[in-house]
Amino acid sequence: MDFIAAGWQACGLKYERYRTHAIHDTSDPETIIVEQEVLGTSASAGEFALPNIVVLTVRNGQITRLRDYVGIPAAAAATGRDI
């Protein structure tokens, strides 16, 4: 998560916490789907909540796949841009 947060911080976003809404199992016991929001502040837009879905796969204790799908309209608003 630090890697993802660093990327968004470069856009002027400061991640402060995560709010998990649901964790879904899949047919692969090493893969989960997480519905969450990232809460924080933006230099250009103030407080924000970024909804996203993460698909995470772990093999032998190592993350082998991470896909992060962010709500584009919320991301644009958080960075002070229009879509």
Domains in the chain: boundaries: 2-78
For the entire predicted model, the pTM comes to 0.76
Instruction: Write out the DSSP string of the chain.
Output: -HHHHHHHHTTTEEEEEEEEEEEEE-SSTTEEEEEEEEEEEETTTEEEEEEEEEEEEEETTEEEEEEEEE-HHHHHHHTT---
User: CATH fold of 2-78, please?
Assistant: Nuclear Transport Factor 2; Chain: A, (3.10.450)
- Residue 35: what pLDDT? 98
Q: Which of 50, 30, 24 is nearest to 38 (CA)?
A: 50
Each of the 83 residues of the chain gets a pLDDT tens digit; together they read 677 667 666 777 888 999 999 999 999 999 999 999 999 998 888 999 999 999 999 999 999 999 999 998 998 888 888 77
